[in-house]
Structures are given as structure tokens and as C-alpha cells.
Amino acid sequence: MHAHEVNPSFYAGSMMEAVRTQGLLKRFGQQTAVAGVDLIVPRGSFAGLVGPNGAGKTTTLSMITGLLRPDHGTAAIDGLDVWRDPVAVKARIGVLPEGLRLFERLSGRELLVYNGRMRGLPKADVEQRADELLRVMDLGDAADKLVVDYSTGMRKKIGLAAALLHNPAVLFLDEPFEGVDPVSANTLTEVLRRYTESGSTVVFSSHVMDLVERLCDWVSVMSGGHIVAQGPLADVRGGRSLNQAFLDLVGGPRDSGGAGLDWLGAKAADK
């Protein structure tokens, strides 16, 4: 089937799903980064996308969020095709991308107000939401500081606040907890839990299995550009810890970790 020919049952079937991709494929030169991915995320899920470095998670999320055009395949959000209906899709999603770029010369508050106004929200609503988000994210004291002076964790939090401001139906987060302190991580978790309990959907990529196990009710595991397991957390775990399931699924540890590093460590110097 051609990249843009879609089986009509694809959209009918995808109405109950927040995200559904079919045969999503992306090559960079000779390398196939994403090799025909069928990602499914039911509505209201707290979904984790996990996989080793280079598995294709970021590339997949970029194609689903309209940032990178797929070579083949389709992606739908709430039954709407991402690449045929980009405006409607972008109104429904919030994105915290990897390596987030922010307007550095705005204050945190200005950044939120700018985002909200760009989304077409009325000024009074934007200001009220911005205030609440700044307070919940514990950025109240930094609200009028320039983003360029924010720490890594503060940048994640302001990025997440910006992604939430228009109350999207589906929120995509690439490594949202990286660099975030434990207290703030707890706050973020609470905010996201409340958000999914109301029927909205979170999809986040992470390498931290304990976190995924604790937060997620749905997991997709990627390896080498493919989905190697996907479903409710309990099914993917299959009675193991998620970490063990992950190691079993992606074939690690590739060797026992230390082989070939005889020179490494204090004992080597004694030899």
C-alpha cells in the first residue's frame, strides 16, 4: 500500500485510541531508524515508551507529533491523521520534546502567556492558568526570571507547563523527569496522574524502568526500530520486574558488562 493510502477501517478502529500508528517508517540515509511501527495507546492511559539508546523512540514520537514526516505509514491522534489534518491534531496535543528549545529571553511567565496566546486562548484565561501552573510547578519565585537563567529541571518544568496550558487531550513527553529533583518529580507525577484520571492521555519516553513501572498502566517497548512488546503493564511484565522484562525483551545485557575492560579500576594498577 502506498504511504498515503489508508485502509478505512484504520480510522474507525482508532477512534477509541489516543494514538495509533500503522507501519510508521523512517530512514536516515542507509539507516532505518523506525522500521514499521504499530504503536497503540488507549485513551486515558499513562503510557510509557521504553527502549535502549537508539531504539527509535524519539524518531517515532517526532513523527506522531508532526515534527518529522514519515517515509511510510500513518499516525493518528484520536482518529485524526497527523499528516493530513495537522492543525486539528496540533490543537489536541501537547509536546515536551527532547532537547527542548525555549525562548531564552522571556521570563517563565512570559513564555507561558506567549504559548497560551499563540494557542488562541483568551488573555484572562491564559494568565490564570499560567499563575496556577507556575505555583504547582514550584516556579512561583522564578516566574519573572529569564528562562536563560533556569536550571535543567526548571526548564523541564516550564516546558511541561507550556505543554499543558491549552489542556491538550494527549500529552507527549520525551524524558520528562531528566534533571528534575525528587520533590518536583513527585509534583509532576501528581499533576500528570490527575490529568490522566480525567480521561486525558500521557505518552512518555524514559529509560528509568522503576519510574515507568510505578506510573504507567500501558507500556510499549521498542528495540532496533521495532515494537517488541506492547500492552497493559502487567502483560508486558509477565510476572517479572519491568527491568527484567526489558532486559529479556531487548536481549541485554549484551555481554556481562565488564568484559574487555581489564584495565579499568584500582586492581589493574596492582597487577
Ligand X SMILES: Nc1ncnc2c1ncn2[C@@H]1O[C@H](COP(=O)(O)OP(=O)(O)OP(=O)(O)O)[C@@H](O)[C@H]1O
59-74 burial code (b ≥16 CB/10 A, e <16): bbbbbbbbebebebbb
User: Rule CB under 6 A: is residue 75 a binding residue for ligand X?
Assistant: no
Using rule CB under 6 A, residue 53 touches ligand X: yes
**One-character DSSP codes across 185-217:** HHHHHHHHHHHHHTT-EEEEE-S-HHHHHHH-S
Query: What are 40's strand-pairing partners?
Result: 20
CB nearer to ligand X: give 51 or 70: 51
CB of 37 to ligand X, least distance (A): 11
Minimum Å gap between C-beta 135 and ligand X is 32
Closest to ligand X by CB, 108 vs 225, is 225
- Member of 33, 96, 112, 164 binding ligand X (CB under 6 A): 33
Which single residue is written with the C-alpha cell 506522531? Answer: 64
The least CB distance from residue 58 to ligand X, in Å, is 3
Write out the binding residues for ligand X, residues 118-147 only, by CB under 6 A: none
CA torsion, points 10, 11, 15, 16, in degrees to nearest 10?
A: 10
16 by Cβ neighbours in 10 Å (0-12 / 13-18 / 19+) ranks as exposed
Taking CB under 6 A as the criterion, the residue among 1, 4, 28, 244 binding ligand X is: 28
Is 70 one of the binding residues for ligand X (CB under 6 A)?
Answer: no
Among 48, 51, 73, 159, binds ligand X (CB under 6 A): 51
Is residue 19 within 8 Å of residue 89, measured between CB atoms?
Answer: no
Q: Is 220 in the site for ligand X (CB under 6 A)?
A: no
Residue 57 or 92: the one with the smaller Cβ distance to ligand X is: 57
Q: Which of 54, 79, 97, 179 binds ligand X (CB under 6 A)?
A: 54
Name which of 9 and 31 has its Cβ closer to ligand X: 31
Residues contacting residue 226 through CB under 8 Å, at least 6 positions apart: 35, 36, 37, 56
- Please state the closest distance from residue 70 (CB atom) to ligand X, in A: 13
Distance CA 212, CA 215 (A): 5
Q: Which residues bind ligand X (CB under 6 A)?
A: 28, 31, 33, 51, 53-59
